[in-house]
């Protein structure tokens, strides 16, 4: 039942990735749903309590679970951990440990230490997840996947900025339109770099990259009107979003 529990969790908490996983071949879902469910659990761990120590303990719990998977020992009983242990290898567990560690930024109200820290956060939270999924699904060039994932991560981060600010976090240095537009420019550049190298990612691995189908339209909205970020006005037209998803899922993540 652990796989079904993961699918149910993703359906409820992450509709975009649920749609992506359901469009993937059935064998790929056995990898995508546990990974996406894990990502949900880790991403929300810092937000279920106002106590930093408790949030840290929740994140450490997941790091310990990943260590058990990496070492091949008996893993703790948990629906998501059970499913994850069935599809994740030691390399994947070690990679995802970096994702959990990066989420410590979400616990506190300190700004990023600089551009390098922001890049590390996006590469860990978006890059590690997408790369692990792609690698487990089929042959793929890591740099291509990570370039694409960086753009996706920036798009997701821009959409999350209003919620982060409402919780007292400091996602932007000054919040100016110039800063926000530059962020979109950087995300689009990395996205384009990944898309240009699409031949280095197999069709099987590409199923993991479909989760970024929305990134380019979001980043273009930010680029054209940076004020839409803080106004929480980056939601795509539902009809256009559905058409884009259909096109990407049928033709490939690089379109």
d(CA 38, CA 226): 32
Full pLDDT tens readout for the chain, 255 residues? 699 999 999 999 999 999 999 999 999 999 999 999 999 999 999 998 889 999 999 999 999 999 999 999 899 999 999 999 999 999 999 999 999 999 999 999 999 999 999 999 999 999 999 999 999 999 999 999 999 999 999 999 999 999 999 999 999 988 899 999 999 999 999 999 999 999 999 999 999 999 999 999 999 999 999 999 989 899 888 888 888 888 888 887 766
Beta bridge partners of 201: 140
Nearest to 136 by CA among 194, 95, 190: 95
Structure tokens at 85: 């242990």
**pTM of the predicted structure, to 2 decimals:** 0.95
Q: Write the CB contacts of 178 (distance below 8 Å, at least 6 apart in sequence).
A: 226
Reduced to 3 states (helix: H, G, I; strand: E, B; else coil), residue 125 is helix
Domain boundaries, the chain: 1-108, 112-255
Sign of CA dihedral 197, 202, 203, 208: negative
SS (H, E, C) 48-115: CCCCHHHHHHHHHHHHHHHHHHHHCCCCCCCHHHHHHHCCCCHHHHHHHHHHHHHCHHHHCCCCCCCH
């Amino acid at each position: 039942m652990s796989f079904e529990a993961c699918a149910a969790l993703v359906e409820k908490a992450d509709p975009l990735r649920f749609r992506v996983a359901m469009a993937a071949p059935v064998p790929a879902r056995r990898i995508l749903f546990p990974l996406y469910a894990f990502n949900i659990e880790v991403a929300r761990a810092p937000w279920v309590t106002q106590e930093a120590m408790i949030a840290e303990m929740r994140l450490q719990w997941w790091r310990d679970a990943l260590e058990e998977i990496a070492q091949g020992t008996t893993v703790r009983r948990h629906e998501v951990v059970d499913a994850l242990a069935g599809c994740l290898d030691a390399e994947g567990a070690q990679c995802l440990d970096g994702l959990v560690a990066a989420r410590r930024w979400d616990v506190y109200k300190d700004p990023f230490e600089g551009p390098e820290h922001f890049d590390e956060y996006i590469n860990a939270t978006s890059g590690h997840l997408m790369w692990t999924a792609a690698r487990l699904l089929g042959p793929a060039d890591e740099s291509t996947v990570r370039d694409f994932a960086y753009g996706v991560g920036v798009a997701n981060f821009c959409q999350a900025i209003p919620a982060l600010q409402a919780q007292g976090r400091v996602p932007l240095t000054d919040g100016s339109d110039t800063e926000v537009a530059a962020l979109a420019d950087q995300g689009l550049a990395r996205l384009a770099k990944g898309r240009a190298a699409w031949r280095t990612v197999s069709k099987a691995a590409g199923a993991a990259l479909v989760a970024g189908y929305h990134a380019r339209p979001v980043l273009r909205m930010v680029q054209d009107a940076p004020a839409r970020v803080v106004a929480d006005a980056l939601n795509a037209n539902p009809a256009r979003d559905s058409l884009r998803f259909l096109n990407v899922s049928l033709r490939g993540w690089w379109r």
